[in-house]
Protein backbone atom coordinates (compact mmCIF):
# COMPACT_ATOMS: atom_id res chain seq x y z
CA UNK A 1 0.00 0.00 0.00
CA UNK A 2 2.81 2.38 0.92
CA UNK A 3 4.55 1.56 -2.33
CA UNK A 4 1.53 2.62 -4.42
CA UNK A 5 1.40 5.96 -2.59
CA UNK A 6 5.07 6.53 -3.33
CA UNK A 7 4.57 5.65 -7.01
CA UNK A 8 1.52 7.95 -7.22
CA UNK A 9 3.50 10.77 -5.58
CA UNK A 10 6.38 10.34 -8.02
CA UNK A 11 4.00 10.30 -11.01
CA UNK A 12 2.22 13.41 -9.70
CA UNK A 13 5.54 15.24 -9.24
CA UNK A 14 6.61 14.32 -12.79
CA UNK A 15 3.30 15.56 -14.22
CA UNK A 16 3.50 18.86 -12.32
CA UNK A 17 7.14 19.36 -13.36
CA UNK A 18 6.30 18.59 -16.99
CA UNK A 19 3.36 21.00 -17.09
CA UNK A 20 5.40 23.68 -15.33
CA UNK A 21 8.33 23.28 -17.71
CA UNK A 22 6.07 23.37 -20.74
CA UNK A 23 4.30 26.48 -19.41
CA UNK A 24 7.63 28.22 -18.82
CA UNK A 25 8.87 27.39 -22.30
CA UNK A 26 5.57 28.20 -23.99
CA UNK A 27 4.85 31.49 -22.21
CA UNK A 28 8.29 32.87 -21.34
CA UNK A 29 9.02 35.92 -23.42
CA UNK A 30 12.72 36.36 -22.81
CA UNK A 31 15.66 35.82 -25.06
CA UNK A 32 19.35 36.59 -24.73
CA UNK A 33 21.45 39.23 -26.40
CA UNK A 34 25.22 38.89 -26.68
CA UNK A 35 26.97 42.22 -27.34
CA UNK A 36 30.56 42.17 -28.62
CA UNK A 37 33.00 44.80 -29.95
CA UNK A 38 35.58 44.88 -32.76
CA UNK A 39 37.58 47.51 -34.69
CA UNK A 40 39.19 48.47 -37.96
CA UNK A 41 42.93 49.06 -37.20
CA UNK A 42 44.95 52.28 -37.63
CA UNK A 43 48.69 52.85 -38.19
CA UNK A 44 51.10 54.04 -35.44
CA UNK A 45 48.67 52.69 -32.83
CA UNK A 46 49.35 49.39 -31.07
CA UNK A 47 46.52 49.31 -28.50
CA UNK A 48 43.18 51.03 -27.87
CA UNK A 49 41.72 50.42 -24.41
CA UNK A 50 38.07 51.38 -24.07
CA UNK A 51 36.21 51.17 -20.77
CA UNK A 52 32.54 50.34 -21.31
CA UNK A 53 30.26 51.10 -18.37
CA UNK A 54 26.79 50.14 -19.58
CA UNK A 55 24.53 49.48 -22.52
CA UNK A 56 21.02 50.83 -23.07
CA UNK A 57 18.56 49.15 -25.43
CA UNK A 58 15.42 50.82 -26.78
CA UNK A 59 12.17 49.21 -27.85
CA UNK A 60 8.96 51.00 -28.81
CA UNK A 61 7.00 48.97 -26.25
CA UNK A 62 9.21 49.35 -23.16
CA UNK A 63 11.42 52.38 -23.87
CA UNK A 64 15.06 52.42 -22.73
CA UNK A 65 16.45 49.58 -20.61
CA UNK A 66 19.90 49.97 -19.01
CA UNK A 67 22.38 47.20 -18.20
CA UNK A 68 25.71 47.59 -16.38
CA UNK A 69 28.86 46.27 -18.10
CA UNK A 70 31.97 47.82 -16.40
CA UNK A 71 34.61 46.21 -18.64
CA UNK A 72 37.81 47.49 -20.30
CA UNK A 73 38.75 45.96 -23.64
CA UNK A 74 41.75 46.44 -25.93
CA UNK A 75 39.78 46.58 -29.17
CA UNK A 76 42.85 46.97 -31.37
CA UNK A 77 43.05 44.09 -33.88
CA UNK A 78 39.65 42.67 -32.91
CA UNK A 79 37.60 41.74 -35.95
CA UNK A 80 34.10 40.38 -36.38
CA UNK A 81 35.60 36.88 -36.26
CA UNK A 82 37.39 37.40 -32.90
CA UNK A 83 35.25 40.16 -31.30
CA UNK A 84 35.38 40.57 -27.52
CA UNK A 85 32.16 39.72 -25.67
CA UNK A 86 31.08 42.61 -23.44
CA UNK A 87 27.92 41.14 -21.98
CA UNK A 88 25.26 38.49 -22.47
CA UNK A 89 22.00 39.81 -21.05
CA UNK A 90 18.51 38.43 -20.65
CA UNK A 91 15.84 40.73 -22.13
CA UNK A 92 12.23 40.54 -23.25
CA UNK A 93 11.81 39.10 -26.70
CA UNK A 94 10.75 41.64 -29.30
CA UNK A 95 11.89 44.32 -31.71
CA UNK A 96 14.52 46.80 -30.54
CA UNK A 97 15.42 49.95 -32.45
CA UNK A 98 18.45 51.61 -30.83
CA UNK A 99 21.55 50.85 -28.75
CA UNK A 100 23.67 53.19 -26.63
CA UNK A 101 27.03 51.72 -25.59
CA UNK A 102 28.35 53.96 -22.78
CA UNK A 103 32.09 54.67 -22.60
CA UNK A 104 33.93 56.23 -19.65
CA UNK A 105 37.59 56.10 -20.72
CA UNK A 106 39.75 55.65 -23.82
CA UNK A 107 43.52 55.10 -23.65
CA UNK A 108 45.57 54.72 -26.83
CA UNK A 109 49.12 53.36 -27.15
CA UNK A 110 50.78 55.55 -29.81
CA UNK A 111 54.36 54.69 -30.76
CA UNK A 112 54.78 52.92 -27.37
CA UNK A 113 53.28 55.68 -25.18
CA UNK A 114 49.85 55.45 -23.51
CA UNK A 115 47.75 58.56 -24.16
CA UNK A 116 44.36 59.27 -22.58
CA UNK A 117 41.85 60.59 -25.11
CA UNK A 118 38.94 62.92 -24.41
CA UNK A 119 35.47 61.70 -25.36
CA UNK A 120 33.39 63.72 -27.80
CA UNK A 121 30.31 61.76 -26.71
CA UNK A 122 29.63 59.53 -23.68
CA UNK A 123 28.29 56.69 -25.82
CA UNK A 124 28.41 54.98 -29.20
CA UNK A 125 24.96 55.09 -30.80
CA UNK A 126 23.34 52.62 -33.18
CA UNK A 127 19.97 53.41 -34.73
CA UNK A 128 18.94 50.20 -36.49
CA UNK A 129 16.15 47.72 -35.72
CA UNK A 130 16.91 44.16 -34.64
CA UNK A 131 14.80 41.40 -33.15
CA UNK A 132 15.46 39.29 -30.06
CA UNK A 133 13.58 35.99 -30.26
CA UNK A 134 12.38 34.09 -27.20
CA UNK A 135 14.50 31.08 -26.18
CA UNK A 136 17.47 32.06 -28.38
CA UNK A 137 20.47 34.39 -28.39
CA UNK A 138 20.80 37.33 -30.76
CA UNK A 139 24.40 38.39 -31.27
CA UNK A 140 25.35 42.01 -32.00
CA UNK A 141 28.93 42.99 -32.84
CA UNK A 142 29.56 46.71 -32.55
CA UNK A 143 32.47 47.55 -34.83
CA UNK A 144 34.49 50.68 -34.14
CA UNK A 145 36.30 52.42 -37.03
CA UNK A 146 39.52 53.63 -35.44
CA UNK A 147 40.46 55.65 -38.55
CA UNK A 148 37.38 57.81 -37.94
CA UNK A 149 37.13 57.41 -34.15
CA UNK A 150 40.62 58.56 -33.16
CA UNK A 151 41.82 62.10 -33.83
CA UNK A 152 45.52 61.58 -33.08
CA UNK A 153 46.35 65.32 -33.22
CA UNK A 154 43.68 66.58 -30.80
CA UNK A 155 43.52 63.35 -28.72
CA UNK A 156 39.72 63.11 -29.06
CA UNK A 157 37.74 59.89 -29.42
CA UNK A 158 34.49 60.11 -31.41
CA UNK A 159 32.69 56.75 -31.59
CA UNK A 160 31.58 56.08 -35.17
CA UNK A 161 30.32 52.52 -35.19
CA UNK A 162 28.87 49.91 -37.45
CA UNK A 163 27.23 46.66 -36.42
CA UNK A 164 26.75 43.06 -37.39
CA UNK A 165 23.71 41.07 -36.23
CA UNK A 166 24.09 37.31 -36.04
Answer whether residue 156 shows pLDDT above 60: yes
| Residue 26, pLDDT score | 47
Average pLDDT of 6-15? 50
Whole domain around residue 60: which residue ranges?
30-165
Position 15 confidence tier, pLDDT thresholds 50, 70, 90: low
* 35 part of a folded domain: yes
Q: Tens digits of per-residue pLDDT, 115-125?
A: 999 999 999 99
| Residue 8, pLDDT score | 54
Q: Tens digits of per-residue pLDDT, 23-78?
A: 444 446 888 888 888 877 688 899 999 999 999 999 988 899 999 999 999 999 88
Which CATH number is 80's domain given? 2.60.40
* 21 part of a folded domain: no
Q: What is the DSSP letter of 122?
A: S
* 121 part of a folded domain: yes
Report the distance separating Cα 163 and Cα 96, nearest Å.
14
pTM of the entire predicted model: 0.78
Q: Are 139 and 34 in contact (CB under 8 A)?
A: yes
Query: How many domains would you assign to the chain?
Result: 1
Phi, psi (rounded to 5 degrees) for 85 = -70, 125
| Residue 33, pLDDT score | 83
* 23 part of a folded domain: no
Q: Are 124 and 158 in contact (CB under 8 A)?
A: no
- Terminus-to-terminus CA distance in the chain, angstroms? 57
State the average pLDDT for the chain: 84
Q: Are 33 and 89 in contact (CB under 8 A)?
A: yes
Report the distance separating Cα 134 and Cα 26, nearest Å.
10
* 39 part of a folded domain: yes
Q: Are 73 and 99 in contact (CB under 8 A)?
A: no
Average pLDDT of 4-20? 50
* 88 part of a folded domain: yes
* 98 part of a folded domain: yes
Q: Please choose, from the candidates 18, 35, 22, 3, the residue with its C-alpha nearest in 3D space to the C-alpha of residue 165.
A: 35
* 6 part of a folded domain: no
pLDDT above 70 as % of the chain: 81
Beta bridge partners, 131, equal 95
Residues 6+ positions from 86 with CB-CB distance below 8 Å = 35, 36, 37, 52, 55, 69, 71, 73, 101
Average pLDDT of 85-113? 94
Amino acid sequence: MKRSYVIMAVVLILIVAGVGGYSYYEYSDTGRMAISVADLPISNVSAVYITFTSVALHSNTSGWQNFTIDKTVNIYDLTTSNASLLTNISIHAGKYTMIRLYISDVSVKILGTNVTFSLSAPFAFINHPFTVSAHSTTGIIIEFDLHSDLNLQSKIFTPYVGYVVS
